[in-house]
Amino acid sequence: MIHFSLNAVSAIYTFELARFGRTILTSLATPVITTSLYFIVFGSAIGSQMKEIDGIPYGAFIVPGLIMLSMFTESIFNASFGIYMPKFTGTIYELLSAPVSALETVVAYVGAAATKSMILGLIIFATAHLFVALPVAHPVAMIGFMMLIAITFCLFGFILGVWAQSFEQLQVIPLLVVTPMTFLGGAFYSIAMLPEPWRTITLFNPVVYLISGFRWTFFGKGDVAIEWSLGFIAAMLVICIAIIGWMFSTGYRLKK
C-alpha cells in the first residue's frame, strides 16, 4: 500500500512556495521585463521585416515560443534548486528519515516548482497581450499543455537536482543544453522555413515537438502533428517518473 499524507505534502509545498514569496517582486518583474525586451527586439526589429509566418502575425507567432523558453528553464531551475539545497545543507537526511514517502516528497517539491512555472507562464501570456492581439484556438488545451510541460520539466529538474554535486552542475543542462535547443527548436521561426537537410535534422530536436504542440493550442497549426507532440511529452513524463523511482529505490546521491 502506497503511503500518502496530504499534511506532509502541504508542509513541504508551503515551505517551497514561501521561498518564492520572499522574492515575489523580482520573480514577477523579471518575466515582464524579459518578455517586453523580446517583443522590442524580435517583434519590432525582425517583425518589421517578417510580417507573417504561415498566415500568423509574427508578433503573435513568437508568443508560444517565449512562454516555453521561460517555462523550460524556470521549471528545471525551481525543481533542481529545491531538492539540491537540502542536499547542500545536509537537511536531506532529516527528510529521508522523516515519515514522508518518496511519492509525497516528489509531489510536494515538483508541485511547488510547477506552480511557480505556471504562474510565470501566465504572466508572460498576460504581458504578451500588451503588445499583440493573441488568439487562443484551444484555451483548455493550452492550460493543459502548460501544466504537462511544467510538471514534466520540473520532474526533469528534480532529477538534475539529485544528480548535481555542485551549483555549477545545476547550471550546465539549462544553460548549455535546454536554452540552445529551444532557440534551435522553432521558438522564433517555423522549421518549414529551413532548407534541407537542416529541416530534417531539426526534427531530431525534441524541443521542436513541445513548442509545436503548444503553438497548436494557440493557432490550430504547428510544425508537426499534435499527436507527435503529445506522444513525446507523455514519453518524457514516464521516463522522468521511472528515473526518480530508481533514484529513491537505490538512494542514488540521496543517502551518500
State percent of the chain over pLDDT 90: 46
Q: Residue 224 gets which letter from DSSP?
A: S
> In this predicted structure, which of 116-125, 166-175, 206-215 has the lowest mean pLDDT?
166-175
Q: Spell out where 37-126 has E strands.
A: 52-53, 56-57
Q: Which helix (H) or strand (E) holds 197?
A: none
**Can you name the residues that pair with 56 across neighbouring β-strands?**
53
Short-list 208, 201, 252, 200, CA closest to 233? 208
> In this predicted structure, which of 78-82, 153-157, 170-174 has the lowest mean pLDDT?
170-174
Q: Of the ranges 43-47, 55-59, 140-144, 170-174, which is most confident?
A: 140-144
Q: Is the pLDDT of residue 60 over 70?
A: yes
All structural domains of the chain with their residue ranges = 6-250
Average pLDDT value for residue range 24-50:
73
The tens digit of pLDDT for each residue in 45-55 reads 666 667 788 88
Q: How far is CA 193 from CA 86, 112, 210, in A?
A: 46, 38, 18
Q: Residue 43 gets which letter from DSSP?
A: I
Average pLDDT value for residue range 195-216:
93
Average pLDDT value for residue range 204-209:
93
The tens digit of pLDDT for each residue in 154-167 reads 999 999 999 998 88
Predicted local distance difference test score (pLDDT) of residue 76: 93
Short-list 63, 35, 41, CA closest to 214? 63
> What's the grid cell of residue 198?
537542416
CB proximity list for 165: less than 8 A, separation 6 or greater = 253
Q: In angstroms, rounded to a whole number, what is the distance separating the alpha carbons of residues 100 and 3?
A: 8
Predicted local distance difference test score (pLDDT) of residue 1: 52
> In this predicted structure, which of 22-26, 139-143, 159-163, 231-235 has the lowest mean pLDDT?
22-26
